[in-house]
Amino acid sequence: MKFDRKFIYTSLAVIILLIFTIWVYPELTGLLQVNACLDEAGTWNQQQGLCEYEEN
């Protein structure tokens, strides 16, 4: 079965995009969680991965 170049390049692009998405998504969601925590005047506990708030 012979594939044309357009199909091969499209397939490679999709595979690269999927790998990139799988690699970036966890990092991006973590950064968004930290940002949301800091926006709400909390402190981010890196060891536990939790947002902490001080009670006044």
- What global pTM score does this model have? 0.60
Q: What is the pLDDT of residue 48?
A: 93
CB burial of 4-16 (b: ≥16 within 10 Å; e: otherwise) equals: eeeeeeeeeeeee
Q: What is the pLDDT of residue 1?
A: 59
Rounded CA gap, 31 and 34, in Å? 5
Q: Where are the beta strands (DSSP E) in the chain?
A: 43-45, 50-52
Q: What is the pLDDT of residue 52?
A: 94
> pLDDT means per 10 residues in the chain (56 residues)?
84 96 90 93 93 84
Q: What is the pLDDT of residue 34?
A: 93
The kind and range of the H/E element at 9 are helix 5-39
